[in-house]
């Protein structure tokens, strides 16, 4: 690597940096000593980095990588979109596994329109605030990233490694497409910059994300922000919210944390009316 090819950080170092030494390690003589695992540089030793004792380090790295990239891209705030991976686009609803999923396909289009409208507003502020953020997968997540792309803006995809094959949908901005091993770190990144949370019909993953975020707001571990559920009929069947309050397991005031809407227009009105300065 020539001096002109070196990064600014590399040129500013007084001592040799890690990149230079990693490259030098590839050129060392091949001997029994240099082939031994103990001789490997710790930060280039995959076997060492994957040891269970290094889990705290991997957790930190997974938190830090996305944090640094988002900071470097100037992302200040996000609009989170949770929702089912199995909900098809309206023109693909004949592929739905159940008639109920086919019926829910119109929420794909609502998610797409909502993301496009949010992104159009974000672009008025250089695309740094109110950036669409999804789980990066298919279904409602795809709709969110797709709407942002069609509006000419960027969007974030926070994928998670699962036992079955999964890849980011094609609409996620490549430089903002992340992959996580730890669910907990992924959840942190969903909410650390959130300016609003929207939840579309979904399954276990959507429910998990929804209740985690609601609990953090309820317990004031994070500030209150617009928390919008698309599809009142669906969500009132899935969760008997009023029963929770009647039983005393939540406070009646906790029900006010949630807004139910059917359309992207209604959701945008809630966000527009929100006084972020007082929360």
Give the pLDDT means over successive 10-residue stretches in the chain (279 positions): 53 76 88 91 92 96 97 97 96 92 96 98 93 97 98 97 83 97 96 98 97 97 97 97 97 97 97 83
Strands (E), 33-162: 78-82, 131-134, 155-160
- Angle of CA points 68, 207, 141, to nearest 5°: 55
Q: What is the pLDDT of residue 24?
A: 86
For residue 146, is it left (φ>0), alpha (ψ between -120 and 50) or beta?
A: alpha
Q: What is the pLDDT of residue 3?
A: 45
CATH 3.40.50.450 fits 59-278, yes or no: yes
Q: What is the pLDDT of residue 165?
A: 60
Contact indicator for 10, 19 with CB cutoff of 8 Å? yes
Beta-sheet strand order (sheet of 177-180): 177-180, 155-160, 131-134, 78-82, 194-199, 227-230, 259-261
d(CA 16, CA 39): 19
The tokens describing 145, both together, are 């990233």
Percent helix, strand, coil in the chain, to 5, is 55, 10, 35
DSSP per-residue codes, 23-62: HHHTTS---HHHHSGGGS-GGG-HHHHTSGGGHHHHHHHH
pTM above 0.75, yes or no: yes
The tokens describing 62, both together, are 């997974």
């Amino acid at each position: 690597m020539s001096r002109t090819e070196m990064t600014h950080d590399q040129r500013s170092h007084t001592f040799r940096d890690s990149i230079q030494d990693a490259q030098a390690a590839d050129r060392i003589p091949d001997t029994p000593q240099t082939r031994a695992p103990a001789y490997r540089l710790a930060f280039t030793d995959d076997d060492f980095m994957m040891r269970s004792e290094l889990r705290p380090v991997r957790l930190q790295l997974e938190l830090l990588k996305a944090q640094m990239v988002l900071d470097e891209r100037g992302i200040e705030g996000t609009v989170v979109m949770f929702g089912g991976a199995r909900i098809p686009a309206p023109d693909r609803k004949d592929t739905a596994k159940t008639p109920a999923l086919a019926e829910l396909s119109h929420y794909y289009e609502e998610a797409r329109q909502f993301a496009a409208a949010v992104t159009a507003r974000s672009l008025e502020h250089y695309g740094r605030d109110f950036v669409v953020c999804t789980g990066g997968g298919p279904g409602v997540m795809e709709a969110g990233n797709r709407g942002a792309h069609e509006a000419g803006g960027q969007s974030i995809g926070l994928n998670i490694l699962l036992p079955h094959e999964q890849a980011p949908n094609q609409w996620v901005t490549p430089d903002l497409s992340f992959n996580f091993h730890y669910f907990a770190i992924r959840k942190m990144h969903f909410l650390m910059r959130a300016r609003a949370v929207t939840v579309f019909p979904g399954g276990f993953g959507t429910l998990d994300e929804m209740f985690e975020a609601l609990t953090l707001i309820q317990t004031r571990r994070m500030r209150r922000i617009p928390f919008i559920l698309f599809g009142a009929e669906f969500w009132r069947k899935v969760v008997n919210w009023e029963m929770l309050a009647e039983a005393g397991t939540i406070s009646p005031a906790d029900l006010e944390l949630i807004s139910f809407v059917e359309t992207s227009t209604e959701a945008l009105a809630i966000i527009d009316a929100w006084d972020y300065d007082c929360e």
